[in-house]
Amino acid sequence: PEINHQNLIIPVHNYNIKCMSMGLLVDEQAPVVWRGLMVMQAIRKLLRGVRWGPLDVLVIDMPPGTGDTQLSVTQEVPIQGVVLVTTPQSVALADCIKGAEMFRKVDVPILGVVENMSYYHCSSCNKQHHIFGRDVGHRMKGSALSDVPILGKLPIKPDISQHCDSGTPTVILDSEISEMFDQIAHSIIPSLNLEHD
């Protein structure tokens, strides 16, 4: 990425969205094996060392877990809310529940859960197949997620992977997926006190 005269990183800008990632700052094949202070420094660089300019919303995509990354972000910036993403598998949902517990302990509101890879819609038989399991909402009961809404259930679609690899957002190419993401976004926005169309 380019650096401006203020020594700030200029974010990638495409489809009216600004983006910055550790993946753009390190060698493509180099692993990022950082802990503690190194993680905090990297997060500070991404938050304060980038020329973001005016933003409607800043979305921070974090890895799963309850480690240094998540805690560092909650200490660095005021967070209006978190959206947790899980797949239907029990081990993924268990991680999601731990994440909910952690964010509650640091007073970050949980806006909802998105169930990714929820089902596969077979075009041959025209049925939904729950490859990784089902009933995430039922399994959330009695946990830290029991009062958290499911914002959406996203299907497994091979096209999504192809779109990502080509650098074109799925929401531009797939009206069904676009509508799902739109519904998720519109359900979150009122919690952030933002105006939307």
Q: How far is residue 40's CA from residue 80's CA, in Å, rounded to a whole number?
A: 20
- Return the percentage of the chain with pLDDT > 70, whole number: 97
Per residue in 176-195, pLDDT (tens digit) is 999 999 999 999 998 887 76
Residue type, 54: P
In sequence order, the β-bridge partners of residue 114 are: 85, 152
Is the per-residue pLDDT at 197 higher than 80?
no
Tokens read off for 127: 């049925």
Contacts of 133 (CB under 8 A, 6+ apart): 88, 89, 90
> According to DSSP H, which parts of the chain are helical?
36-48, 68-76, 90-105, 136-140, 158-166, 170-173, 175-188
- Give the per-residue pLDDT at 67: 80
Half-sphere exposure of 48 (CA within 13 A, CB side): 8
Q: How far is residue 11's CA from residue 50's CA, in Å, rounded to a whole number?
A: 7
Q: What is the reported pTM?
A: 0.86
Q: Are the C-beta atoms of 86 and 124 separated by less than 8 Å?
A: no
- DSSP state, residue 142: T
DSSP helix/strand/coil, 66: coil
Q: How far is residue 119's CA from residue 194's CA, in Å, rounded to a whole number?
A: 31
Per residue in 109-161, pLDDT (tens digit) is 999 999 999 999 998 999 999 999 888 888 888 888 888 999 999 999 988 88
